[in-house]
Amino acid sequence: MANVLTTGVWLSTPTKRPSFFTRLLRAQIVSRQRRADRAVEQYIANRGFDGKLTDDTEREIGRLFARGGA
């Protein structure tokens, strides 16, 4: 407790490294997000994006992902 009072910081053991499965899950999530981002970019490029993302475009992108097209 003295360490908290004198330094204002808890001195504890270093946090342990995430498990293999945690790291694997995180990598998979990041990979899927990148794939989704590329699919949206491709969709917008194919539709002739004019610089404004309209509500209709956002709805179409949502439908694309809802039906598993990405």
pLDDT tens digits, one per residue of 19-40: 999 999 999 999 999 999 998 8
Query: What are the tens digits of pLDDT across the range 55-68?
Result: 888 898 888 888 87
Q: Can you state the percent helix, strand and coil of the chain, rounding each to 5?
A: 65, 0, 35
- The residues, ordered by sequence, that sit 6+ positions from 69 with a Cβ below 8 Å of its Cβ are 39
Is the separation of the CB atoms in 37 and 19 below 8 Å? no
pLDDT at position 16 over 90: no
Would you say how long the chain is, in residues? 70
| Model-wide pTM > 0.75 | no
Task: Enter the tokens of residue 17.
Answer: 């490294």
pLDDT score of 10: 62
